[in-house]
Amino acid sequence: MATQEETFKKIVAHCKEYGFVFPSSEIYDGLAAVYDYGQNGVELKNNIKRYWWDSMTLLHQNIVGIDAAIFMHPTTWKASGHVDAFNDPLIDNRDSKKRYRADVLIEEQIAKYEDKIQKEVDKAKKRFGDSFDEQMFRQTNPRVLEHQQKRDALHERYSAAMNANDLDELKQIILDEEIVCPISGTRNWTDVRQFNLMFQTEMGSTADGAMKIYLRPETAQGIFVNFLNVQKTGRMKIPFGIAQIGKAFRNEIVARQFVFRMREFEQMEMQFFVRPGEELKWFEHWKAFRLKWHKALGLGDDKYRYHDHEKLAHYANAATDIEFQMPFGFKEVEGIHSRTNFDLSQHAKYSGKKIEYFDPELNQSYTPFVIETSIGVDRMFLSVMCGSYREEQLEGGDVRVVLGLPPVLAPVKACVMPLVKKDGLPEKAREILNSLKFDFKVQYDEKDSIGKRYRRQDAIGTPFCITVDHDTLNDGCVTLRYRDTMAQDRVKIEDLHEIIRRAVDPKELYRKIVGDRLEDTEE
Ligand code: GAP
């Protein structure tokens, strides 16, 4: 059995080998934490974005989209708090010269205690079998209790230090916990200091006339500064939402785990504007909706969990993450935040403009409160890849590598293959491809044995292979081969379109989320 680490390495290698993700500017040895999406990656990514976008703007009459510029007036970032507070605490190891996030080092230490507890539990489970009472074991086993006590004490001390922004205490925790640099193995640490994550550049041609501007670290602010534009021109009534998909940039100190933490990435964010006092009701609504959106893909309900925030940003009154079980543990894929009226109020203050909504039902004006759903496209992509990649042991000792992608997200929906390259089979296969190509992304493949061709499609997650043989010319039927079961059916050519449509139609997923209701956010 491959370890989780080995599995992750295989997924990364698979992404490259099959045209999903390449290191950026690879011929120059790449650029750290920046990646390019290849021919299959971009299709999968676009399908993810389409699934998200439509789930917002088609399912909800009161959610509209925008596409704001990446460059924004620099005061935006003063108002949002990013200039002063979008920092990570960093620490260097003097021997390896490597730089780390102090909070990440400590969180990894907390995770180590949790792993130790889990190992004890797993060992006991094996030993006691069906009669094992996990809850009792966790409450009474001395070794578990010892690890738990250390974990809780560390967690409490860490939370207090983070809340107080106490950098000296963060360093002291690292020293007291005897955390070593994974490269040098030493505890020769510098002090912890703050590091702003925004990339800066200059706009304008002359040195004195140039203005310092930032590459946006989140797309959300483009929505806030357009609140009045959209509300007025769209005659939007509260509650309503504005959705956006776009690039964001962060000069991450610890850039690791492939596309999980990148310096240039893409976000899908939706800000939902509500009446003050109603925000926690809507927070719960969006928390549930977003989890359903994830689970509808069918990667396994047990792969998701919420992580409610204990440490809230000063402007938030509730926040949770949706985490996915990656090979390197449960990790945040999406954040859902109740941001109060902080952002709109700050922009009103810094711009000097009144940013309010007149509520005709209440006959009063107010600054709306906001629920934000914010998901990284690349993290979503990674969760889908990790949740879909599998190696199957076949009879005869062969291993089949399959991407069991949700068909709605698969880059290629079907591949049409003539059994042989002669006797009119290629022509028939192309005729079938032409009948499907306007509705689905379909490939044609005539090279190598049919078995090899099936494997190539399995590896990129194509749900259907359509084989044209000599009988096809007489009976108008083809062999339809299903990716997941490898089962084969003989079906009529004219039925292909409907079979593929049913499997890849996002409507089925939307039904799982909202049932037969079209709008679920209008009052
Ligand atoms: N507007 C809120 C916001 O930006 P966040 O938790 O910092 O909140 C939201 O980011 C999501 O963006 C995360 O859940 C993650 O999916 C994605 N994300 C954040 N930083 C990222 C990075 N460096 N690389 C890839 N995705 C990232």
Residue 511 lies in a domain: no
**496: pLDDT confidence band, cut at 50, 70 and 90?**
very high
Mean pLDDT of 323-351: 96
Tell which atom from ligand 1 comes closest to the C-alpha of 263: 23
Distance 422 CA to ligand 1 centre (A): 52
Residue 513 lies in a domain: no
Give whole-number Cα distances, 190 to 92, 100, 197, in Å. 5, 11, 20
Distance 7 CA to ligand 1 centre (A): 24
| Predicted pLDDT of residue 523 | 44
CATH number of domain containing 146: 3.30.40.230
Reference 222, options 352, 316, 347, 339; nearest CA is: 347
Q: With a 6 A CB cut-off, is 246 part of the ligand 1 pocket?
A: no
Range of the domain at 224: 1-72+198-402
Domain boundary among 180, 196, 212: 196
Do residues 353 and 383 both lie within one domain?
A: yes
Q: With a 6 A CB cut-off, is 161 part of the ligand 1 pocket?
A: no
Q: With a 6 A CB cut-off, is 331 part of the ligand 1 pocket?
A: no
Do residues 450 and 301 both lie within one domain?
A: no
Tell which atom from ligand 1 comes closest to the C-alpha of 334: 14
**315: pLDDT confidence band, cut at 50, 70 and 90?**
confident
Q: Which of 45, 224, 267, 315 to mutate to test the pocket of ligand 1 (most atoms within 8 A of CB)?
A: 267
Do residues 352 and 235 both lie within one domain?
A: yes
Residue 514 lies in a domain: no
Residue 521, pLDDT > 70, answer no
Q: Give the span between the Cα atoms of 297 and 304, in whole angstroms.
A: 12
Q: Which of 215, 252, 265 to mutate to test the pocket of ligand 1 (most atoms within 8 A of CB)?
A: 265
Q: With a 6 A CB cut-off, is 244 part of the ligand 1 pocket?
A: no
Tell which atom from ligand 1 comes closest to the C-alpha of 220: 1
Which range, of 62-71, 215-224, 389-398, averages the lowest pLDDT? 389-398
Q: With a 6 A CB cut-off, is 252 part of the ligand 1 pocket?
A: yes
Residue 522, pLDDT > 70, answer no
Q: Give the span between the Cα atoms of 171 and 41, in whole angstroms.
A: 40
| Predicted pLDDT of residue 388 | 98
Do residues 440 and 384 both lie within one domain?
A: no
CATH number of domain containing 424: 3.40.50.800
Residue 517 lies in a domain: no
Distance 122 CA to ligand 1 centre (A): 33
Q: With a 6 A CB cut-off, is 264 part of the ligand 1 pocket?
A: no
Do residues 139 and 251 both lie within one domain?
A: no
- Torsion sign across C-alpha atoms 215, 218, 219, 220: negative
DSSP secondary structure string, 296-349?
TT-S-GGGEEEEE-SS--TT-SEEEEEEEEETTEEEEEEEEEE-TTHHHHHHHH
Pairing of strands 369-376, 329-338: antiparallel
Mean pLDDT of 4-21: 95
Do residues 129 and 231 both lie within one domain?
A: no
Give residue 172's identity as a one-letter amino acid code.
Q
Reference 197, options 334, 80, 331; nearest CA is: 80
Residue nearest to atom 12 of ligand 1 (CA): 376
Do residues 330 and 393 both lie within one domain?
A: yes
Domain boundary among 356, 374, 402: 402
Tell which atom from ligand 1 comes closest to the C-alpha of 261: 24
| Tokens found for residue 350 | 């810094």
How many residues can be counted in the chain? 523
Cβ neighbours around 21 below 10 Å, total: 26
CB of 319 closer than 8 Å to CB of 286 = no
Residue nearest to atom 22 of ligand 1 (CA): 261
Distance 60 CA to ligand 1 centre (A): 24
Q: Please report which helix (H) or strand (E) contains residue 224, including its range.
A: helix 220-224
CATH number of domain containing 348: 3.30.930.10
Residue 523 lies in a domain: no
Is residue 462 classed as helix, strand or coil in its secondary structure?
A: coil
Tell which atom from ligand 1 comes closest to the C-alpha of 337: 2
Q: With a 6 A CB cut-off, is 222 part of the ligand 1 pocket?
A: no
Reference 376, options 214, 272, 507, 264; nearest CA is: 264
Number of domains in the chain: 3
Q: With a 6 A CB cut-off, is 261 part of the ligand 1 pocket?
A: yes
Q: With a 6 A CB cut-off, is 250 part of the ligand 1 pocket?
A: yes
Residue 56, pLDDT > 50, answer yes
Domain boundary among 402, 430, 456: 402
Contacts of 217 (CB under 8 A, 6+ apart): 77, 82, 86, 197, 198, 248, 249, 250
Do residues 211 and 149 both lie within one domain?
A: no
Distance 114 CA to ligand 1 centre (A): 25
DSSP secondary structure string, 172-206?
HHHHHTT---TTT----B---EEEE---EEEESSS
CB of 239 closer than 8 Å to CB of 282 = yes
Reference 323, options 338, 306, 311; nearest CA is: 306
Do residues 285 and 312 both lie within one domain?
A: yes
Tell which atom from ligand 1 comes closest to the C-alpha of 267: 12
Residue nearest to atom 4 of ligand 1 (CA): 218
Do residues 98 and 55 both lie within one domain?
A: no
Distance 469 CA to ligand 1 centre (A): 49
Q: Which of 379, 382, 384 to mutate to test the pocket of ligand 1 (most atoms within 8 A of CB)?
A: 379
| Predicted pLDDT of residue 207 | 64
Residue 469 lies in a domain: yes
Mean pLDDT of 159-166: 88
Do residues 302 and 333 both lie within one domain?
A: yes
Residue 173, pLDDT > 90, answer yes
**310: pLDDT confidence band, cut at 50, 70 and 90?**
confident
Pairing of strands 318-326, 304-308: antiparallel
- Cβ-in-10-Å burial (0-12, 13-18, 19+) of 235 comes to exposed
Q: Which of 86, 199, 218, 315 to mutate to test the pocket of ligand 1 (most atoms within 8 A of CB)?
A: 218
Do residues 247 and 376 both lie within one domain?
A: yes
Residue 325 lies in a domain: yes
Residue 1, pLDDT > 70, answer no
| Predicted pLDDT of residue 430 | 98
Distance 266 CA to ligand 1 centre (A): 8
CB of 230 closer than 8 Å to CB of 250 = no
Give whole-number Cα distances, 272 to 76, 332, 450, in Å. 20, 21, 51
Distance 267 CA to ligand 1 centre (A): 7
Mean pLDDT of 66-90: 95
Residue 495 lies in a domain: yes
